[in-house]
Structures are given as C-alpha cells and as structure tokens.
Amino acid sequence: MPTFDTPAPIRATLELLVADVRITATDRVDTVVEVRPSDPSAAADLRAAEQTQVQFADGQLLVKTPKTLKTLGILRRSGSVEVEIALPTGSQVRADAALAAFHCTGTLGDTALRTATGDIELQHTGPLEATTSAGSVVARSVSGAARATTGSGTIRLGTVTGAVTLKNSNGDSRVDSVGGDLHAKAANGDVAAGHVRGSVDATTANGSIRIGAVHRGTVEVRTSMGELEVGVAAGTAAYLDLHTQFGKVLNQLDGTAAPEPGEDNVQVRARTSFGDIIVRRGDTEELR
C-alpha cells in the first residue's frame, strides 16, 4: 500500500466512479492509501483496483479510479473499489464520485464531497460542502460555513460555527447550532434548528419548521402544510408578523417595551396555509 511522508496537513483529491471511501485523520506524519476490490472474486472490481491511480507530490494526493470502458459500443460493468486513506489532522479533502459512500473520522480541514448516489458521514471538518443526489449527509461539527444538499435523504448537522445552507428535496433536515445565518429549503420534509445566532430563511412545501432559539436579525419561515414554531432567546425583543389560513396562532411571549438602541431584537415573519404557528421563549437546551 502506498505510504508518503506528510509532516503537515495535505490536500487530497479523489476522482471516483464506484467506491466505498473511509478517511481517517489523526496526528501523524505520513499518509497511507489502500485500494482494494469491493469483491475480490469479481473481475471488474479487480480490474478497477489494479487501474486506480495513487499519486502524491508537493503536498497533494490524487486517487483516481478508471472510467467506464466501452467494448464494441457496449458499456462494460463499472468496477467497485474500497478506498482507505489515513492522513494528518487538518488535511483538506475534495472528492467527486458517481456512486460512493464517504465515512470520515477525525478532524479534516476544508472539505468538499460530491456523489450522485451515496451517504456522506463526517465527524469534524473545516468549511464543508457536501452534496448527494440520493443519500444522507451527517456531520458532527463544522468550523466555518456548511452547505449540505441532498435530493432524497436526511441532513443532520451538529454544531456549525458559521452560516448554514440546507437543500433537501425529499427528507428531513436538522442542525443543532448555527453561528451565522441559516438558509434552508425543502420540498417534502421537516426543517429543524437549535440555536441560530444570525438570521433565518427557511421554506418547505410540505413539512414543519422548528427553530429552537433566535437571538437577532430576521426570521422568515414558510410552509404550505405544517406547523411553524420559533423560539426567541431570553432578553431579545421580537416584532411578529404571523398568519395561518387554517390553524391557530399562539404567541407565548410577554408584551415588552420597544428595545433600546443596541439591544438584541428579532423580526419574525411566519406563513402557513395549513398548520399552527407558535412563538415562545427559546430553549435553554439543545434541540430535542
């Protein structure tokens, strides 16, 4: 298996067709890459593993599987490989795949993973961009901004220190803590967030939206069918614009005087066609 001296974090680029990828970031001074066939008895998998390129130069690692070949105009079966990479903590990762699952442990730097089909799972990263057309996206913590997209699947983010953008066509989306603004768009599924330090713009066509606690800025939440719930952090004044066509509006905030200049305040605008709207004081605990 190829082993490279890497006393500092590296930049890893993966260009894959069909693969199962496991990346482990630890405090180490080398990088180890192992590529093996998913099924050692399958000729296509053996061929894909043998033809996978592993190159390293100037702090940059490239792992590239062969493209699908055509024989007499007939598309040959794509071989599947398993890729394991052990690299230094803080390394950057860029990956593009047709059908692949990514399992990343440890702490990575800037990370951008894209797959047409497959789940994406990470522990800790720097700024993150994760995209899958069919699959789930999970990240425990992100230092910086996070953008997560799936066509069908769930999105589950833990603590994000920067802004968050969520796009989900079919499935629920959830983030525990957002250090900046939150932008979320869903077609069919719920959207939930814990503490949000910036503004919120969240829309779903069919589903509920729940924001645990907002501290400042503007909050716009919209759904055609579902409940809307917004928590306003203690000590933050709120201006409310709430409307439901078929449902109840429950304002559980006490009336207060207008905030003094410099004090935190939030403007909440909520719209649903079928469902209740609830505005209350924010949770002191993370998202239930």
The dihedral built from the CA positions of residue 88, 90, 95 and 101, taken in this order, carries a sign that is positive
d(CA 138, CA 236): 31
> Would residue 57 count as lying in a domain?
yes
Distance from chain centroid for Cα 88? 22
With 50 as the cut, is the pLDDT of residue 205 above it?
Answer: yes
d(CA 31, CA 253): 55
Tell me: do 58 and 145 sit in the same domain: no
> How many domains are contained in the chain?
2
> Would residue 165 count as lying in a domain?
yes
With 90 as the cut, is the pLDDT of residue 285 above it?
Answer: no
* CA distances from residue 61 to 21, 33, 92, 110 in whole angstroms, order as listed: 15, 10, 10, 15
CB atoms within 10 A of CB 211: 29
The DSSP annotation for 129-140 comes to EEEEEES-EEEE
- Please name the helix (run of DSSP H) or strand (run of DSSP E) that holds residue 149, with its range, or none: strand 146-150
pLDDT at 282: 86
Amino acid of residue 176: D
> Would residue 99 count as lying in a domain?
no
Cβ pair 209, 191 in contact under 8 A: yes
Tell me: do 42 and 141 sit in the same domain: no
Residue with tokens 């403007």: 267
Tell me: do 58 and 180 sit in the same domain: no
> Would residue 153 count as lying in a domain?
yes
CB atoms within 10 A of CB 53: 11
> Would residue 116 count as lying in a domain?
no
Quote the domain boundaries for residue 89: 1-67+79-93
Query: What would the pLDDT profile of 236-269 be if each residue is shown by its tens digit?
Result: 889 999 999 999 999 998 766 555 565 678 999 9
**Residue 246 tokens, joined:** 């078929």
pLDDT band at 272 (very low <50, low <70, confident <90, very high): very high
Find residue 17's DSSP bridge partners: none
Average pLDDT over residues 132-145: 98
